[in-house]
Structure 1
Amino acid sequence: MPLCTHAQQAAKIIPIPTAGAWANNSVNTVIFRKNSLVTAGGYQYAAFYDNDQFVVLAKRKTGAEGWQINRTQYKGDATDAHKSISIMVDGAGFLHVVWGLHNNPVNYAKSQSPGSLTLGDKLSMTGDHEQKVSYPEFYKQANGDLLFFYRDGASGNGNLLVDTYHTKTQKWERLQDNLIDGEGQRSAYWQITVDVKGTIHISWVWRESPDVASNHDIAYACSKDGGKTWQKSTGEIYHLPITASNAEYACRIPQKSELINQTSMFADAQGQPFIATYWREQGQTVPQYHIVYKTGATWQVNNLSFRKGAFSLSGGGTKQIPISRPQIIAWPVKGQMAAALIFRDADLGDKVSIAVTADIKQGKWQVSNLTDASVGSWEPTYDTELWKQSRVLNLFVQKNVQVDGEGRANIPPQPVQVIEWKPTAIK
C-alpha cells in the first residue's frame, strides 16, 4: 500500500512547554490512558510524568498555544509502564486524576476548584475493592457524571468493576462489583466507547495467564442505561457477571495468534460497534490490523493487510513491540462512514502514522505519516471529548523507549506535544 502525503499536510504540532517528560519506558503513552488529554469548558487539559516521576498537569484555552503548567505534589512509580495517569473533567468542571496503579491501592485526587490544576488530598472512591487496582479509565456521560472502570485483581485472575460519580452530590457509587468475571482462571482486557446516544460499548479479549500469547477471542456487551444493565448486540440481556461461557463473541481467535489486548473502539450514530485491534490470521506469518464490526445480524472482519513485518507477543509484562496498538476514529461522509486508524509501525520508521478510508466497510486504506521523526515506543491516545465536540483529533505525543518486560531504558527526558489533525476530503 503506497505512502501518501495528504494527512501529513493537515497536521499541526502544539508543544507543551516543559523541561522534558519521563521517557525510560512508555508509561506516558500507553494506549489505555483514558485520558491523556481532555477538553471541557473551553479548555484542554493534559497530564504526564516528568523525569522525577511527579504527576504534571497542563491546561490551555481551546485553540490557543500557551499552556499553564503545574507540577503536583504527587509522585508515581513511572518505572512500571502500567502505572499511567488518566484524567477526566466532570460536568461541574472539576478535574479528576488517577495515577500509579498496577495491583495497587487506588491513587485518586480531584482539583480543588473547577478549572484548577491544583489537586486536593488523596481520596477513596467507594472505599470497597480498591486495594488491587489496575487499568483505571474514566468516561464522561452526557449529564456530566463520570464512569470509572478498573480491574480488581491480577492478570489472568481479575474482575472488571464499574463505579459512577454523581456531579451534583460529588459522591462515587458502585454500579457493578463484577461485570466481567474471569472465574479465577482468566481476566478480561477491554476497550470502551460511549456513543452519541449514551450507550456504553465494551469489547474485550480473554487472557488465561500473564503470558500475552494467551490472549484469545473478542467478546462484546453494551449498556443503554448508564452501566446498570448489560446486553448483547442482539438485545438479549446478560445475567451478570459475564463469563467466558455466556459472552457474545464478535470474533473467535485462538491463543498464540499475536492477538493484542486493550486497543480501541467506536460506535456510529446508529449504535453499530467497530473494534480496532491486530492479530495474525491462521496460516499467515504477519500480524495485521483488523476492524471487527457489526452490521445487521452478522459480525464482519476487515483485514487492513498492509503490514510486512512478523513478530511474536510471547511473554509477560509490557512488551517491546514493533507496532503500537491502534486508535480508531470515524465520521460520516455522504452516507458512508469514513475512518482513520492511528498507529506506529517500525516498518514505517516508528513515526506517528495514520491510515484513512472513505468507507470503513469497503477498505481501501491510504497510509501516511503525521511526523517526520521516530517516536520510539509511542502508542496513540487522544482527546475523546474534543473529537466528539468538533471532530478535531488531538493526539498526545512523546518519544520514549520501552524495554521488553518491565525493563528501564536510559535516555534523557523528552518533550511532550499535541499533534492536531482534521479530516479532509478523501479521493
Structure 2
Amino acid sequence: MNKNKLVLFFKNYLLLALLSICFLACVKNTSYTVVGNGWSGNSVNTVKFRKNALTAYKEFQFTAYYNQEGYLILGKRNIKSSNWTTLKTNYKGNVKDAHNSISIAVDGSGYLHVSWDHHNTKLRYAKSKEPLSLELGEETLMTWEQEDKVTYPEFYNLPNGNLVFFYRSGESGRGNLVINSYDIYTKKWTPLQSNLIDGEDKRSAYWQACVDAFGIIHMSWVWRETWGVETNHDVCYARSKDGGKTWEKSNGEIYNLPITLASAEIAWKIPQNSNLINQTAMDTDSNGNPYIATYFNEATIPQYQVIYLESNKWKKSNTGFRKTSFLLGGGGTKKIPIARPDILIDDTNIRTLVFILFRDEERGNKVSLAYSFLNDELPWKVVDLSKNEIGQWEPNYDIVLWKSQKELHIFLQNVTQIDGEGVAKEKASEVRILKVENLNKLIE
C-alpha cells in the first residue's frame, strides 16, 4: 500500500469510526408515529416492491395499508405532526396473497394516485377527488390497453410533476414490462411502452427503477426463467432520458425495443442457483450515477451486494457481514431469513456514503442499516434502528422526502409470512412510521 493510499485508508477508517459513534447516538434519536392497525397475517403491507408505501408532497405525508378486514386504508399528516388522519375506503384487496400490495404516489398537482390488489388480475386504480384529499374517486382503468393481467404496479414521480406507472403484464416466467404516463395538465394516462422488456414467452424481468435529479429514469432488473426463484440470473440495466420513451445502455447505446435477453446490458453476471433474489433496489448520486442493491451468493453465503457505475465501468461491493447460508427455491411469496434491501445514497458531503436498509434473522429481525464509502479495504458497518423484531418486514422509505430533504422516514409493521404464500393467524399489528433524525449530518 503506497503512502497516499495509506493516508486515505486511515482517513476513511477514522471517519467510519466517528460514524459508528454518531450512529449509536442516532439510534437514540429515532422516533415513531402510529398510523393505525393493519393486517399482519402475511407481508402484503410490507413487500419490497411497493412504490410507494409512504410518500411526501410539500408539507404533507401520505401512506396506505390494508386493515384486518382487507379494506384499503389511506393516511395523511403534516410532516411536523405525529397525528395521522386516516380514511377507510370502500375498496378491498385479497390480503391473503402477499403479491397484492398497495402503491401510491402524489402528482405535481397534489392528487393522490392509488393502485392495489394485483396478481395477474385486472388493473385496480383510483385517484383522489381533490388535491391533498384522501377521498378517492371511482375505480377505473388507465388506458384500457393491456390491463387485464397486472402484477407489481409501481408509481414513479418525474421532476415536472408527471407520473409514470410500471407493471408486469402476464404471468411469472413469461411476463412483459408495460409503462403508462400521466400528464398533470390533461389529467389523463397514455400508453408509453406496451412491451419495454420482452420475456419472449420464456421468462420475465423483475425490476426496480429510480428517477435522478435530472429526470433520467434508471432501471435495473433480474431475469427469471420459470416460476421458481432459483432461476433468477444476472443484473441488467437501462436508462431513459426522455421520460420513458426511448431507452439506452450505460454507454449511451440506444436499445432497439423491446429489450430482450440477448440485447440487455448486463451490469453484473450472476448464474442461476446463486440465491439471487428477484427485484432490485436503486438510487443515484447527485451526478446521476446509478447504484443497485440486491443479494446473492458470495462463496456459499447470500450477501447484500451493491453494483454501481463509476467512470463508465460497473463495479461491485460485497457487504460481507452475513455469516449464515440459506437456499432459495420454489414459487409464491417466500419466508426468507433476510429482507430484500433498499438503498440510499448521500453525497452531500463530497464523499459518497451508501446505506443499505434491511432485516436479517442474524440480527434478530430488526430494522437494520449498513453503510460504507465503498472502500474495499474497509468493512461495512451495521447498526440496528429498532429495538424489537419486526417479523418478515421488508424496507420501504419515503423517497420524495429523502431526495428533497435527506430525511429518512421508514414504513414499518411487524408481519408474519409463511413460506409459499401461506397465511398466519395473527392479530392486526401497528402500522408505524420510523423517523431517523439527522442521518445526513453524520459526516459533517
Match of residue 30 from structure 2: 11
Higher helix share: 2
Root-mean-square deviation over aligned CA pairs = 1.5
Match of residue 245 from structure 1: 262
Q: Does 1:21 align with 2:51?
A: no
Deviations 1:340-382 (A, max 9, x none): 111000000000001122x235553221111111000000001
**Shift, 1:299, TM fit:** 0.7
CA contact (8 A) 1:21 1:49 kept: yes
- Partner Cα distance (2:362, 2:348) in 1: 30
**Shift, 1:5, TM fit:** 2.6
- Partner Cα distance (2:375, 2:277) in 1: 22
**Shift, 1:209, TM fit:** 0.3
Match of residue 332 from structure 1: 347
Which of residues 300, 308, 312 is equivalent to 2:315? 300
**Shift, 1:6, TM fit:** 4.0
Q: Does 1:43 align with 2:60?
A: yes
**Shift, 1:426, TM fit:** 4.4
TM-score by length of 2: 0.93
Read off the aligned partner of 2:47 and give its amino acid letter: V
Percentage of matched positions with identical amino acids: 47
Match of residue 98 from structure 1: 115
- Partner Cα distance (2:155, 2:312) in 1: 31
**Shift, 1:329, TM fit:** 0.4
Match of residue 398 from structure 1: 413
- Partner Cα distance (1:200, 1:152) in 2: 20
Which of residues 132, 141, 152 is equivalent to 1:115? 132
Q: Does 1:309 align with 2:324?
A: yes
Match of residue 384 from structure 1: 399
CA contact (8 A) 1:275 1:292 kept: yes
TM-score by length of 1: 0.97
Shift in alpha-carbon separation, 1:333–1:122, aligned structure 2, 3 A: closer
**Shift, 1:268, TM fit:** 1.3
- Partner Cα distance (1:324, 1:9) in 2: 24
Match of residue 202 from structure 2: 185
Match of residue 303 from structure 2: 288
Read off the aligned partner of 2:420 and give its amino acid letter: G
**Shift, 1:204, TM fit:** 0.3
Match of residue 255 from structure 1: 272
Q: State how 1:110-259 maps to structure 2 within 5 Å.
A: 110-259=127-276
Q: Does 1:360 align with 2:377?
A: no
Q: Unaligned regions of 5+ residues in structure 2, if any?
A: 1-15
**Shift, 1:425, TM fit:** 1.9
Read off the aligned partner of 2:267 and give its amino acid letter: A
Match of residue 54 from structure 1: 71
CA contact (8 A) 2:181 2:190 kept: yes
CA contact (8 A) 2:220 2:280 kept: no
- Partner Cα distance (1:10, 1:244) in 2: 46
Q: Unaligned regions of 5+ residues in structure 1, if any?
A: none
- Partner Cα distance (1:82, 1:382) in 2: 19
**Shift, 1:333, TM fit:** 4.5
Q: Does 1:264 align with 2:281?
A: yes
CA contact (8 A) 1:7 1:369 kept: no
Match of residue 359 from structure 2: 344
CA contact (8 A) 2:54 2:64 kept: yes
Read off the aligned partner of 1:121 and give its amino acid letter: E
Read off the aligned partner of 2:28 and give its amino acid letter: Q
Match of residue 68 from structure 1: 85
Read off the aligned partner of 2:340 and give its amino acid letter: R
Matched length: 422
